[in-house]
Amino acid sequence: MVLQEGELRLYARGPLMGMPHAMLQNRLSLSPSQIADLRLAASKMTGPARRAFEAEMTLKYCAGNPLMAEAVFGWGRQTVALGLAERRSGLICRGSQSAFSGRKRWEEQHPQAAQALRDLAEAHAQQDPTFRTCLTSTRLTAQAALQALRDQG
């Protein structure tokens, strides 16, 4: 859709069926710079925070219509619809990638060995001799720690 200078810019991938341009201009009370600011703010967020922000702005400026939010702000209407559903239900949806991806930390995989290593390092820890910090340090090397753990069983 080609618009003249100063007119409302629509971020549509195709024709907007059932949503005339006049209706958008009547419903929307934002200037183009305000729309750009809202788009920038949304682009700085990720995940549930972004969906919540997009849902709030859709409710405030687009009467809760994801299609109108897509046309005005350029946000994906599926994402906006998910944000509205999360807001309505109070449940946060996690995608399969964020829920099931990534490797567990070694400490979570081997809690007994991690606790034994912590105890061993704490036994060899010493305070900073100058007392400038409250941190402790140890001269225990990884190789010596592994040998001590093997000796313990």
Q: What is the pLDDT of residue 3?
A: 45
Q: What is the pLDDT of residue 2?
A: 43
Q: What is the pLDDT of residue 14?
A: 53
Closest CA to 84 of 115, 106, 52: 52
8-38 pLDDT, tens digit each: 555 555 544 455 554 555 456 788 999 999 9
The span from the CA of 93 to the CA of 95, in Å, is 7
Q: Tell me how long the chain is.
A: 153
Q: What is the pLDDT of residue 95?
A: 77
The span from the CA of 125 to the CA of 138, in Å, is 5
The span from the CA of 50 to the CA of 136, in Å, is 41
Q: What is the pLDDT of residue 4?
A: 47
The token pair that represents 50 in the structure block: 């972004």
Closest CA to 24 of 1, 51, 53, 54: 1
List, run by run, the mean pLDDT of 10-residue segments along the chain (153 residues).
49 52 58 93 93 95 93 94 95 79 85 90 83 80 89 82
Closest CA to 70 of 83, 85, 87: 83
Return the DSSP state at 67. Answer: H
* Chain centroid to CA 46: 3
Backbone CA torsion sign across 19, 82, 80, 61: positive
Q: What is the pLDDT of residue 24?
A: 53
Q: What is the pLDDT of residue 140?
A: 86
Closest CA to 83 of 71, 68, 93, 70: 93
